[in-house]
Amino acid sequence: MNGYYPVMLKLQGCRCIVVGGGPIAERKVLGLLEAGADQVTVIALDFTPRIEELARGGHIETKARAYASGDAKAARLVFAATDQAELNRQIALDGEQAGIWVNRADEAAAGTFINPSVVRRGELVVAVSASGASPALSSRIREELARQYGQEYIGSTARLKELRERVKLTIGDRRLRSEVLKLAACEAPRQSEEDGDIDVWIERLIAATDRRNT
């Protein structure tokens, strides 16, 4: 067993610290922002233009200084993304001692969590990881998934969310509710907002479910 347990973290309101200001750190920052993180601090002596732009826009905070051992204690997640292996090792050690989850960009197995390759389509998030064994393999599979699950899934997922909330309020029978939601998940990628309102869709799904059970 590889020892990794996949989870989805809610990062709103959680301080995330990225140590490093280069391209790798930039990718970590962008990934955090895509996931909804709203308290991102980047610590480095120099920053990429994109990181500086995000700081000017108020999306992140930057601290133009060297890393200090106490920095890790103030965070929920820490990313060691410098070009110095020894510094990354120290950051990971500080995080471990403080009980903070640390991602080490230069040596994934030396940290306490790794980042999967991710495809985002609105609220649909598809993640894949080779557990640090081959980031290239994860990236290739991510590209395949990106082609398979196109931009239409953004609207589909939003409609399914709306339908699920409506079904919870209008269908009391648990079995029927489950069958309606499963059928909706199969249909949604082929639909669009022009296919009718949610209530009409629910009525049609119930009718289709009844026909399948008779």
Distance of CA 105 to the CA centre of its chain: 17
In the chain, what are the domain boundaries?
Answer: 1-115, 152-212
pLDDT tens digit sequence for 112-168: 999 999 999 999 999 999 888 888 999 999 999 999 999 989 989 999 999 999 999
Does the pLDDT value for residue 196 go beyond 90?
no
Is residue 68 within 8 A of residue 78, CB to CB? The reply is no
Does the pLDDT value for residue 75 go beyond 80?
yes
Amino acid at 66: A
Question: Rounded to whole angstroms, how far apart are CA atoms 144 and 148?
Answer: 6
The CATH fold of domain 1-115: Rossmann fold (3.40.50)
Is residue 152 within 8 A of residue 186, CB to CB? The reply is no
Q: Work out whether strand 117-121 and strand 124-128 pair parallel, antiparallel, or are unpaired.
A: antiparallel
